[in-house]
Amino acid sequence: MNAPTRQKGGRRARQAHFACAAIPFRTFLIKAKRLPGASAESAAHTVRILCGEIGTPLESRRMLDTDPAAGQRWEDLWGEYQVWLRPPQ
């Protein structure tokens, strides 16, 4: 019998993981945050930088669920992305 697969990270880490894999989110990072590359890896690195302390990127996106300040910075970034997705009025 197979043991159940344990999910890595909490809600924010998983949300960031899927966001970094999504082309629309990467496009947002390129246009709004001047991300130099378009790969999922470069997006993940950018998220770790943007959600870490100034000059100190997060070691892992899992910290989005364990560090309250990093989690809030992710929520703010996610909110910016949601606004960016809306069509202009």
Assess whether pLDDT exceeds 80 at residue 89.
no
Please give the Cα distance from 13 to 74 (Å, whole number).
9
Model confidence at 49, pLDDT cuts 50, 70, 90, reads very high
How many Cα atoms occupy the beta-carbon half-sphere of 14 within 13 Å? 6
* Confidence check: pLDDT of 58 > 60: yes
Decide if 43 contacts 26 (C-beta within 8 A): yes
Structural domain spans, the chain: 11-85
Could you tell me the CA-to-CA distances from 18 to 40, 44, 83 in Å, in that order? 9, 10, 18
| Interval 17-47: pLDDT, tens | 999 999 999 999 999 998 887 899 999 999 9
Kindly report whether the global pTM for this prediction surpasses the value 0.95: no
- Is residue 81 within 8 Å of residue 22, measured between CB atoms? no
Query: 3-class DSSP state for residue 56?
Result: strand
